[in-house]
Amino acid sequence: MLLATVLLATPQLPAGAGNLVLWYQQPADQPMNQSLPVGNGRIGGLIAGGPAQENIVLNEDSLWTGDADPSGDYDAMGAYQTLGHLLIDLPGHTNATAYRRDLDIGDALAQVTYQSHGTAYAREYFCSHADGVLVVRLTADAPGAYTGSLTLQDAHGARTAADQDTLTDAGQLANGLHYEARLTALNEGGSLTATNGTLTFTGCTSLTLILAAGTDYVMDYQKNYRGELPEARVNGLVRAAAAKSYAELKAAHETDFHALFNRVALNVGASTPEQTALPTDQRKVRAAKFVDPELEALLFEYGRYLLISCSRPGGLPANLQGLWNDSNQPPWHSDYHANINIQMNYWPAEPANLTECADPFFDLVDSQLPAWRRATAAAPEFNTADGKPAPRGFAIRTSHNIFGGLGWKWDNTANAWYGWHFWEHYAFDGDKTFLRDTAYPYLKETSEFWADHLKTLPDGRLVVPNAWSPEHGPTEDGVSYSQEIVWDLFNNYVEAADILGVDKTFRDEIAGRRDHLATPGIGSWGQLLEWLTEKHDPRYPELDTPNDHHRHTSHLFAVYPGRQISLTRTPALAAAAKKSLDARGDTGDVREWSFAWRTALYARLHDGADAHRELQQFLSARNSSPNLFGLHPPVQLDGDFGITAALCEILLQSHEGEINLLPALPAAWPTGSVTGLRTRGGFTVDLAWANGQLTSATLHSLNGNPCRLRYGQVTREVTIGRGETWQWDGRN
């Protein structure tokens, strides 16, 4: 039946969203592994929750060392930095009892509660995108209970100034980047005193702390990535927020956050009372062995929470640690890693209904292109066959910063993989303005680059020269990873040109090149070949054997996130991909993000049992921290985002030109529901199932496009009017 339904701009939380709270019985003593993250896209905080001293690690997303150095020198590229620490010293709050620290990801609100010397204390923390500030509220059940001090501890040696009710921390990095943080304390009862960079409070009944931070960075190559000094903007944010009541700040924060988070809710069954009674750090370890449905649903929503918290329009995209960082020498520089990691950060943005959160990725890439073009034209590796510099396009090294700088070795086809995101952003919502003005120019320029750089074999096949299979094996022509990514680029470019009706001559050229690309072969034991020919290399005896348990499954890009290999269109290649995936296994140097990718790969191969097994692996102590951050080790967050995307693939797929309902539903989730997932073609889908069978599917059409639905072997062709809703029970 057809129901004329208009989607709400700010949806309410759907029923069955479950208990979305991480909670602990002790403070954190390892910031990245145990502290609770809050963020508004630009500013982040890690909540430790100590009763006698709260230590909040502070981050600002553009606080980077380095510059536009194109050399590949990893140290010259710079690193993402810590802003500093907000210390709240409460010297009388020792021997606390009834302690609890939690993070409600449904409201983006952290809390700490405890009792000390007969008084019950409570703290609330949130990072408001609506007001651009971090807010901390301290209350107690007795008047005048708070006496202590506040300090902003700068991570780069700058001195903090204290004046009346305000702390100001300002400095400059070696690369000239200016930064500033400002905190205002609002007290009820008692008094505040400013002395030697510290605010001392005495006999206060409650305190509200408001902090803003910023730098003079702008995403603009023409301005050398520098803009106005941050002082006026930061001070303005603090003043405006301080003029509001705490209730007003909290309400604005929750309204803004719910507008994104409440679009999707997942219910995959009820956990046992014994499971829900455990704090998260204990519960997650057991969930790696015993199915814990509500924790698995929480993990799905946690990836969405983190993406909302660290990637908002106008800011920078999520880096290797999202937004959160407790070190000025973070692992892998907390950079943008282009051989899967930043891509995995954004896998869930479209299917998990957070399309706006991908905007910072497109903005950053656009701002870096002039620097990348210059670096590529100057690199002899990309000279054309006649020895001239690359005339069109750009390449990307494996790592990059926010200033156009590049680090480590070239990942030649990362430019094409970035193009996948531009295409997918259009494919899900059908925004032709975005396609014409943003995605198409990127896809065309990158296609031009590869039209200039492919190599022709004697048999006429085209291969990517000097390619690698990250981070694995030899560098040579025709590596499957690169072949598949360039195929994906060319295929997406052709579709984009057809939709826009432009550049037919070049479109036909690229279509021809796509069809002449060497495609992956099948090896002697039925595996998908990772290189152009099967390896028998004494330097790498494990390659192309069942003994290769490498963390990367790069040659399976064509299964996921690509679409060149699928069960319905290329069943032989899909079977070979399954052979390779099974052989990689769960041992060796497999990491947290590896399990996220493998969950998605098994889902694309319609293997729900193995997809769920890989999901459970992520919850083990080896692969994720007590605060559910991915544990490479050390911490990186691509696995958190990747798991969310992979669960979308378990429940709903649309990469084969049809909407496939419950394609990889595991037996561990016999009954459940999900609302708000998105598909290519502009549809939002709600699903319910019982006893492993679909009971209802509700499709909301954003654009009025026709679609083909599939549930098992049953298909249905439907056209749903723009803004209307259609329901199906999975039968003819």
Residue count of the chain: 732
Looking at residue 17, what is its pLDDT?
40
What is the crossing angle of helices 359-377 and 440-453, to 10°? 30
Q: Give the ranges where 517-562 is alpha helix by DSSP (H).
A: none
Looking at residue 64, what is its pLDDT?
98
Looking at residue 12, what is its pLDDT?
41
Q: How much of the chain exceeds pLDDT 70, in percent?
A: 98
Question: Does residue 5 have a pLDDT over 50?
Answer: no
DSSP 86: E
pLDDT band at 528 (very low <50, low <70, confident <90, very high): very high
- Over residues 566-579, mean pLDDT: 97
**Tens digits of per-residue pLDDT, 440-468?**
999 999 999 999 999 999 999 999 999 99
Q: How much of the chain exceeds pLDDT 90, in percent?
A: 94
Looking at residue 588, what is its pLDDT?
82
Question: Does residue 9 have a pLDDT over 80?
Answer: no
**Tens digits of per-residue pLDDT, 160-183?**
999 999 999 999 999 999 999 999
Say what the pTM is: 0.96
Question: Does residue 11 have a pLDDT over 70?
Answer: no
Question: Does residue 278 have a pLDDT over 70?
Answer: yes
Distance CA 611, CA 598 (A): 7
Both tokens of 49, joined, read 């929750």
- Over residues 309-325, mean pLDDT: 98
Question: Does residue 140 have a pLDDT over 50?
Answer: yes
- Over residues 698-702, mean pLDDT: 97
Distance CA 265, CA 567 (A): 29
Looking at residue 344, what is its pLDDT?
98
DSSP 550: -
Distance CA 560, CA 424 (A): 13
631: left (phi over 0), alpha (psi -120 to 50) or beta: beta
Distance CA 708, CA 659 (A): 6
Both tokens of 606, joined, read 């319609």
Distance CA 490, CA 282 (A): 47
Question: Does residue 330 have a pLDDT over 70?
Answer: yes
Distance CA 183, CA 375 (A): 41
- Over residues 122-150, mean pLDDT: 98
Q: Which amino acid is at 15?
A: A
Distance CA 247, CA 695 (A): 42
**Tens digits of per-residue pLDDT, 337-351?**
999 999 999 999 999
Across the beta sheet with 36-39, what order do the strands follow?
36-39, 43-47, 53-60, 84-89, 146-154, 198-204, 191-195
Q: Which amino acid is at 98?
A: A
Domain definitions of the chain by residue range: 2-281, 672-728
Question: Does residue 595 have a pLDDT over 60?
Answer: yes
Both tokens of 613, joined, read 């097994």
Question: Does residue 682 have a pLDDT over 90?
Answer: yes
Q: Tell me how far CA of residue 713 lies from CA of 70, 155, 229, in angstroms.
A: 52, 59, 61
DSSP assignment of 438-452, as one string? IIHHHHHHHHHHHHH
Please, what is the average pLDDT of the chain?
A: 95
Question: Does residue 622 have a pLDDT over 70?
Answer: yes
Strands of 176-327, DSSP E: 178-188, 191-195, 198-204, 206-215, 265-267
Looking at residue 668, what is its pLDDT?
98
pLDDT band at 1 (very low <50, low <70, confident <90, very high): very low
**Tens digits of per-residue pLDDT, 78-101?**
999 999 999 999 999 988 999 999
User: Are 691 and 662 contacting, i.e. CB atoms less than 8 angstroms apart?
Assistant: no
SS3 527: coil
Q: Is the peptide bond before 356 cis (omega within 30 degrees of 0)?
A: no
Q: What is the CATH architecture assignment of 2-281?
A: Distorted Sandwich (2.70)
- Over residues 488-513, mean pLDDT: 98
**Tens digits of per-residue pLDDT, 430-440?**
999 999 999 99
Mean pLDDT check: name the lowest of 131-135, 425-429, 646-650, 728-732. 728-732
User: Are 241 and 210 contacting, i.e. CB atoms less than 8 angstroms apart?
Assistant: yes
Is 575 exposed, middle or buried (CB count within 10 Å of its CB: 0-12, 13-18, 19+)?
Answer: middle
